[in-house]
Amino acid sequence: MPSVRTVLVTGGNRGIGFAIAEEFVRQGHRVAVTARSGSGPEGTLTVRADVTDAASIDAAFTEIEASLGPVEVVVANAGITKDTLLMRMTEDDFTSVIDTNLSGAFRVVKRASKGMLKARFGRIVLISSVVGLYGSAGQVNYSASKSGLVGLARSVTRELGARGITANVVAPGFIETEMTAELSDAVQAEYKKNIPAGRFASATEVAKVVTWLAGDDAGYISGAVIPVDGGLGMGH
Ligand code: NDP
């Protein structure tokens, strides 16, 4: 029988986070999502939290712990983009993306580690991006935030690996969500030319990898960067 875990997915009200939460529910886990607006899929507990605010994360964890028990699996998924070329990028464009995508993950992982250390068990999955290692013109802020997650996961692995805690990075390529729907048809066609798989992925294809990494069979994988990108980033 696979273990049933208490899971938290940040940014679980839409897109990839919603699909991840849905897949954990489908597999029978106790699932909470954080959202600033809306709510997670059916069967999840939705709590309000903003990952740029440590106090709101702390309150969200306290609420989840009271309802579902200590968080054993955390998926840091909440993320934003503010794309523009370096010459036009303001300091606020840069720091606000880092604050949500990288510092936000730090705040969530730090809070989650308390209970995981006590339980001597934990699964941490950080949602990065192919551009974290590949780079991307117009995304200096975003790709820096996403490559920062690799250092975060690997350092957490070195600090907490002996306590039954794993920390891994999932690096999606182009996924069919609101984020990619904003791209024009011409830009989408251009991207698809460079993807060996020749298509974007569904959010569920990312979700299946995340749930597997959090599952019983992946206990000896830590500090890894798992691409879900149809071959786009090979070698990066
Ligand atoms: P969406 O824009 O659809 O959703 C982003 C999610 O993050 C929303 O739930 C949003 O909540 C939440 N969020 C943003 N800022 C905050 C904040 N300050 N505090 C709490 N929650 C916040 O994005 P996707 O589903 O496309 O992306 C999810 C993750 O996957 C992101 O980290 C993204 O970088 C990454 N990714 C996406 C790819 C893609 O092709 N779509 C490719 C590679 C990586 P709210 O609705 O309340 O604002």
List, for residues 99-118, the tens digit of each pLDDT value: 999 999 999 999 999 999 99
Rounded average pLDDT over 142-171:
98
* Euclidean distance between CA atoms 30 and 9, whole angstroms: 11
Ligand 1 interacting residues, C-beta cut-off 6 A: 10-11, 13-17, 34-37, 50-52, 77-80, 100, 127, 129, 172, 174-175, 177-180
In a domain, 21, yes or no: yes
In a domain, 17, yes or no: yes
Residues 6+ apart with CB under 8 A from 130: 171, 172, 173, 174, 227, 229, 232, 233, 236
CB 180 within 8 A of CB 174: yes
Range of the domain at 65: 6-221
Share of the chain above pLDDT 70, in %: 100
173-197 confidence digits (pLDDT tens)? 999 988 788 888 898 898 899 999 9
Q: How many domains does the chain have?
A: 1
In a domain, 50, yes or no: yes
* Euclidean distance between CA atoms 95 and 79, whole angstroms: 13
Rounded average pLDDT over 117-125:
98
Report whether pLDDT(9) > 80.
Answer: yes
Residue 187 is predicted with a pLDDT of 84
34-86 confidence digits (pLDDT tens)? 999 999 999 999 999 999 999 999 999 999 999 999 999 999 999 999 999 99
Q: How confident is the model at residue 126 (pLDDT cuts 50, 70, 90)?
A: very high
Q: Which atom of ligand 1 is nearest to the CA of 13?
A: 9
77 Cα–ligand 1 center, Å: 6
In a domain, 190, yes or no: yes
Report whether pLDDT(235) > 90.
Answer: no
Place of tokens 């992946």: 218
In a domain, 232, yes or no: no
Residue 17 corresponds to which tokens in the numbers above? 């986070």
pTM of this structure: 0.97
In a domain, 31, yes or no: yes
Residue 13 is predicted with a pLDDT of 97
Average model confidence (pLDDT) across the chain? 96
To 5 degrees, how large is the angle CA 150–CA 63–CA 211? Answer: 40
84-96 confidence digits (pLDDT tens)? 999 999 999 999 9
Helix (H) or strand (E) holding 168: strand 165-172
CATH for 76: 3.40.50.720
In a domain, 119, yes or no: yes
